[in-house]
Chains A and B, each alone.
Chain A
C-alpha cells in the first residue's frame, strides 16, 4: 500500500517580543498528501450487513507497545530541540506501524506523541472524544527520565 503522506520542509519563524528580545521560536510541521492521489470518484460499496467489529483492539497490548517504544527510544537520551523534533515524528511513525501490525480490520488509528523538557513548568494535557464507546478506545503511556518526558497516546476508532 503506497504511503500517501509526504513530509513538508520544517518552517521555523523567530518572532520579536515586545521588549525587543526574540520570543521562543515557533516551528510548524505538517504532512501533505500527494495531490496525484486525489480521487474524487468514490466507488459504490456493497452492504456488508456487519453491525460491529469482529475483532477489537486490546488496550493492554497497545499500552505495552507504547511502553516498549518510548522506553527503548528515550531511556538514555537528554533533551535537545532539534533531536526532539525528529524523535517525536519518528516515534509517531514507529508506533503507528506497530499498531498497524496488529492487523485489526476496519479500525482507524491516531497516534499523538509529546516530548518535552523538564524544567519545573506546569502542564495539563487532556482530551475529549465524541465516538462510540463500545467500539472505540484509546491507550496512553508516559515516560520520564531526568531531563525529558515523553507522552504517547493512541486512539483507535472503528470505521462503520
Chain B
C-alpha cells in the first residue's frame, strides 16, 4: 500500500481551468500514481505525463496554445520554490497549477493556455 497521495490546485485567469486540472490529475495518477521515485524512470515519467496532458488538452478543441511544464522531485526534505509571471491578456488567457505528492516524490504540473484569437 503506497502512502497518501495529495493534490492541490491553483487557478489563474479566465481559461476553463477545471477541465485542465482534471486532465492533469488523470495524467499524473495514471503515470506515477503508486510508484516510488526512481531516477532511471523519471525521464520517461515526465515525458509520458506531458505527452498525455498535451494530447488531452488538444482534444478539448479550444483556440489556445498550451505550455505544460512538469517538475518531479524526490522527497528528501529539501526546499523548492516555483513562481511564474506572465504578460498576457488576462481576459482570455489563464493557467492552472497542480501540485501532486505521494510518499516519495512531489510532482508539480503547470498548464498555461494562451489564446490565439
Contacts and interface: CB of A to CB of B under 8 A. Distances in A.
Instruction: State whether these chains interact.
Output: yes
Interface of A: 4-5, 18, 24, 26, 28-31, 33, 37-39, 42, 79, 81, 84-85, 87-89, 91-93, 95-96, 99-100, 108-132, 136, 153, 155, 157, 159-160
**Chain B, interface residues (CB within 8 Å), range:** 35 or more
Contact of B79 (A79, A96, A123, A155): A79
Interface in B25-57: 37, 39, 42-43, 45-47, 50-51, 53-54, 57
Contacts of B3: 18
Interface of B: 3-4, 8, 10-13, 37, 39, 42-43, 45-47, 50-51, 53-54, 57-58, 65-91, 93, 99, 110, 112, 114, 116-117
Given A33-B13, A121-B78, A160-B116, A128 B87 contact: no
Nearest to A95: B85
A28 B47 CA distance: 26
22 contacts: A28-B8, A28-B10, A33-B90, A84-B79, A88-B82, A92-B85, A96-B85, A96-B87, A110-B86, A112-B82, A113-B83, A114-B82, A116-B73, A116-B78, A121-B73, A121-B76, A122-B42, A122-B74, A124-B45, A125-B72, A126-B69, A128-B53
